[in-house]
Amino acid sequence: MLSSNIIEVKDLTKKYRLYDSPIDRLKEAFHPFRKRYHRDFLALNGVSLQIPRGEIVGIVGKNGSGKSTLLKILAGVLSPSSGNIKVNGKVAALLELGAGFNPELTGIENVYLNGAIMGYSREEMDVRAKPIIEFADIGEFIDQPVRLYSSGMFARLAFSVAINVEPDILIIDEALSVGDFIFQFKCMRKIADLRSQGITILLVSHSTQQILQNCSYALFLDSGRLEAQSRDVEEVINCYERSARLASRPVDNIPAKEILDIGPPARVEADAAVNECRMGTFDAVISSIRLTQANDGMTDDEVLTAGLETQLEVQIDSKHCFESIVIGMSIRNVNSISAWGDNTLNCVPQNIPLHVGVNRFVFRFLLNIVAGEYLFFIGLADISTANRVELDQRWPIKKLTIVSRRPLTEGFVYSPLKLVNGPNDLTSCYL
């Protein structure tokens, strides 16, 4: 009976030896008293995880967090320093671009080479070669040496080979980011199709939107440790975002007098009613926001009408003076996919300061978003110095309902279609 988990990892560790110079490696190898010239670096440190079959697993983390190392070990490219790994299926991997390709061989020769590595016979690859070539869609270059390929053609062929050798597990490490938009769209549709067939997919991406939109499970790695894993993809992404944003302000760099003076100027509790994730130094806080439209007398901020100019009033309570801050905001759907977003760096030519006490800002924008239920996200950061400091991030701060006269409009953008040239009295009708 097949296990419900296709990948099981227990206390996985990968240790590298780092040397300050190549000669130190030689010195250590031949030193009569085995003097140590290296320092140990733990790329992975005690990682344990279980991945169920048929999931699209998004893996997030900063550069150097251990994502690629983990995938290489799962793909069999690297061996762990310690720990146990159980992979219950055939793995196809897109790691470094062109990995597993011989640059002197042609595209079609590399197709057969990769098939042989996967354990397929020449006759079996004869059957698979046609769909591989059709999906890659690189034309006559399939018969040219791959050293002549652009990064986009590498990606096309590598992805096409990986998905057409019938793997149980498909590993993709940022390989899709080099392709053109149409190719990426084509790949994401194929990934959805593979998932419907029960294939497990591990996807590393720096695009949190891509993870939110396509993944059913998520992992967050930080400095070689597994900090979070869950089917609640949004919560894992929030953990990653908190870590990435708050890391921009190293505690060691905060002046001593500022450390002693830290203290919230107002209530900073997260709003449980909207499952708010809130973070920052809270030296200045977003105490309230108000969204209004002229058609309702500027009073109702819970129900808004699509297509109308909308006013956003933001109140910020600040404990200190700040030379330059940025306010960013977005409207997202239930899956945390952004329908709209902007920030003050785009709309204001000069620096925006904050003074001690209450600061009020008023913005206006067209609410060209289709009817539905949404969440409003807003954030405040200090950009007075080279190191951006997150002051208050409120994800989300408010639930919104958008209504319109066109409830059947598709997508995110509210842009009603108008017939301007038609028969008889239909010329002014909305379709």
CATH of 5-242 given 3.40.50.2300, 3.40.50.450, 2.40.240.10, 3.40.50.300:
3.40.50.300
Domain coordinates in residue numbering, the chain: 5-242, 252-403
Residue 259: the pLDDT is 32
Element (H, E) at 163: helix 151-163
Is residue 186 within 8 A of residue 137, CB to CB? The reply is no
pLDDT at 52 over 80: yes
139-167 average pLDDT score: 87
User: Which of 398, 386, 266, 283 has the alpha carbon at shortest distance from 329?
Assistant: 398
Of 109-123, 170-184, 244-258, the one with minimum mean pLDDT is 244-258
pTM of the model: 0.73
Residue 207: the pLDDT is 79
At residue 425, φ and ψ (nearest 5 deg) are -95, 20
At residue 13, φ and ψ (nearest 5 deg) are -135, 135
At residue 175, φ and ψ (nearest 5 deg) are -70, -25
Of 124-133, 157-166, 339-348, 390-399, the one with minimum mean pLDDT is 157-166
Residue 184: pLDDT band (50, 70, 90) is confident
Residue 297: the pLDDT is 61
Residue 289: pLDDT band (50, 70, 90) is very high
Residue 296: the pLDDT is 60
Residue 176: pLDDT band (50, 70, 90) is low
More confident residue, 30 or 9: 9
User: Which of 279, 260, 264, 284 has the alpha carbon at shortest distance from 357?
Assistant: 284
Question: Which structure tokens are listed for 153?
Answer: 């053609």
More confident residue, 353 or 152: 353
Question: Which structure tokens are listed for 196?
Answer: 């419907």
Is residue 340 within 8 A of residue 330, CB to CB? The reply is yes
Burial code (b: 16+ CB inside 10 Å, e: under 16) for 133-162 equals bebbebeebbeeebeebeeebbbbbbbbbb
Domains 5-242 and 252-403 share a fold: no
Residue 357: the pLDDT is 94
Supply the CATH classification number for the domain 252-403.
Answer: 2.70.50.60
